[in-house]
A and B are shown apart, each in its own frame.
Chain A
């Protein structure tokens, strides 16, 4: 059951990756990378259930937090041309 869900998430991540590679505008790419990050979080949680190692949930939370900051930083850089605070 969890394996099937993991495969579906992998498929969705592959589709997001194709959009990140072909995306006409920079915002398509940023959104695709963000979606891939979300899929990674889900996949980490599923791996934790498949191998019955609940510690993977901690890693998933950490990844979700870092992924959000990366997206914000990319968009800020795109908006202003630098990251000066």
Chain B
């Protein structure tokens, strides 16, 4: 990470320490969604918040900005695709929409667990991408 401006070293140091922790924590929230508090939405929101913090404190040049925007859009679309894909796969295999027991795994308990896991991952991707895209569109330097 490079600093574009001569900025406050305190915020930069704290952010550099905090951002990796936030991202790991966001993945923990997504992965633990069915056991504790959190889940796809909260994990995605924390992940997007870490990238917003990075953009606010360190700044982004035009190239990074374009890359962030493309990546955020792709993540949002991929999350929806994952969610809908798992739901439709259940229908194709003879169950209802999001009927995890119809997923092609031997043990219905495993199928249920992995199904929930995939859904949480899809929600997390979609939320992180959409929130980051909103931030980039409102705070970005390009007007288009």
Contacts and interface: CB of A to CB of B under 8 A. Distances in A.
Main SS at interface, chain A: helix
B125 interface: no
Contact of A84 (B38, B49, B139): B139
Q: What class of interface size applies to chain A in its complex with B?
A: 10 to 19
Contact of B36 (A58, A65, A76, A84): A58
B56 interface: yes
B56 A65 contact: no
A49 to B, nearest CB: 16
A85 B140 CA distance: 6
Contacts of B59: 85
Interface in A18-72: 55-56, 58-59, 61-62, 65-66, 68-69, 72
A53 B42 CA distance: 19
A61 to B, nearest CB: 7
Interface string B1-30: 000000000010011001000100100010
B98 interface: no
Interface residues of B, number: 26
A62 B33 CA distance: 14
Given A58-B29, A65-B25, A65-B46, A72 B11 contact: yes
A19 B16 CA distance: 31
Contact of A62 (B14, B46, B65, B138): B46
Given A76-B56, A85-B55, 4 more contacts: A58-B37, A62-B29, A65-B49, A68-B14
19 contacts: A55-B36, A58-B37, A58-B38, A62-B46, A65-B49, A68-B14, A68-B53, A69-B56, A72-B15, A72-B53, A73-B52, A73-B56, A76-B56, A83-B56, A83-B139, A84-B141, A85-B55, A85-B59, A85-B65
